[in-house]
Amino acid sequence: MTRFRLADAPFEIDSLRARLLNERAGGYASFEGWVRDHNDGRKVGGLRYEVYVALAESEGERILSQAMERFDIVEACCVHRIGDLAIGDLAVWVGVSAGHRGAAFDACRFIIDEVKGRVPIWKHEHYRDGDAGWLHPQSNALQDG
């Protein structure tokens, strides 16, 4: 089963959450990252995510497999958008089910932190002043969202 995927269009969370349902699960935790209107004191008008697809998919799967091994969880999945996104768009979603809430929260945090730090997805922000700038995975891991 694929636990990590890239999406070039908006996606529904309900079907992803349904994949996590299991009789062994007593809890569920999720994270949603949205495109915000500012970064480092600059007004953002939108962004574009560029990706090295084959490497991103394999590294994303590796992260989800590590979470399954490292934490006492039932299931986990993550979807990251690519392409052009507007302010307020859902950019990334992580969901984890587990027997207990602690493992679900811990695994969810691990997954989003590792995806932001390791998966080759680059953010090209478009600022309202007409300028644009690239943010790479290493710098994304240091920021919220």
**Domain span at 35:** 4-140
Let me know if residue 8 belongs to a domain: yes
The answer as to whether 102 is a domain residue is: yes
Residue 145 domain flag: no
The domain spanning residue 75 has which CATH number?
A: 3.90.1170.40
Q: Is the pLDDT of residue 145 over 80?
A: no
Residue 46 forms part of a structural domain:
yes
Q: 68 lies in a domain?
A: yes
- Tens digits of residue pLDDT in 6-61: 999 999 999 999 999 999 999 999 999 999 999 999 999 999 999 999 999 999 99
Residue in this structure with the two tokens 């349904």, named with its chain if needed: 18
Number of domains, the chain = 1
Whole-number Å distance between alpha carbons of 24 and 142: 34
**Separation CA 83–CA 143 (nearest Å):** 20
Q: Is 49 helix (H, G, I), strand (E, B) or coil?
A: strand
